[in-house]
Structure 1
């Protein structure tokens, strides 16, 4: 069975404009509302917002089933934190 098509990655490859929204409130409720508002992507900010791994997971869960794609901004560019975020 082929892997599901990632419309976000495909749009980026095709250089199509994507409309997104920056989430800095660190709140799964606002993420859920924004995810269903029609944005192509939502950026979950872990650098300047009070996000940690468990809170990011709850925000990702709030996006499940929505048309928006998550983008996470790590707090620092260290390998160990990026590996945790990828897990």
Structure 2
């Protein structure tokens, strides 16, 4: 059961292993899914410099979820209410 709770992205960071990722500045879940199938270790979904709403971020997280790429969200800014919303959608 512990294997199910292990985050491979965080584990590889902890070990200092090289990972290859992609910065997503699109608001569409289609692009997120295409990127997720391309073999990247992580995908950074940019909420700061891309016009992503919370709903856009949620849809992109859903699109990436079935694949091995680990999503990372960059929120618009670090206010408590916004961070809570981002965490509530699964980031």
TM-score normalised over the length of structure 1: 0.94
Structure 2: gaps spanning 5 or more residues: none
Q: Who is 1:27 aligned against?
A: 28
* Secondary structure class of the residue paired with 1:37: coil
* Secondary structure class of the residue paired with 1:42: strand
Residue 3 of structure 1, CA deviation: 5.4
CA–CA separation in structure 1 for the residues paired with 2:19 and 2:81: 29
Q: Stretches of 4+ moved more than 6 A in 1?
A: none
Q: Who is 2:73 aligned against?
A: 72
1:57-68 equivalence runs, <5 A: 57-68=58-69
TM-score normalised over the length of structure 2: 0.91
Residue 2 of structure 1, CA deviation: 2.7
Q: Who is 1:52 aligned against?
A: 53
CA–CA separation in structure 2 for the residues paired with 1:42 and 1:78: 23
CA–CA separation in structure 1 for the residues paired with 2:76 and 2:65: 23
1:28-43 equivalence runs, <5 A: 28-43=29-44
Normalized per residue, the structure richer in helix is 2
Alpha-carbon displacement from aligned partner over 1:43-81 (angstroms, at most 9, x marks no partner): 000001010111111111111210100000010111111
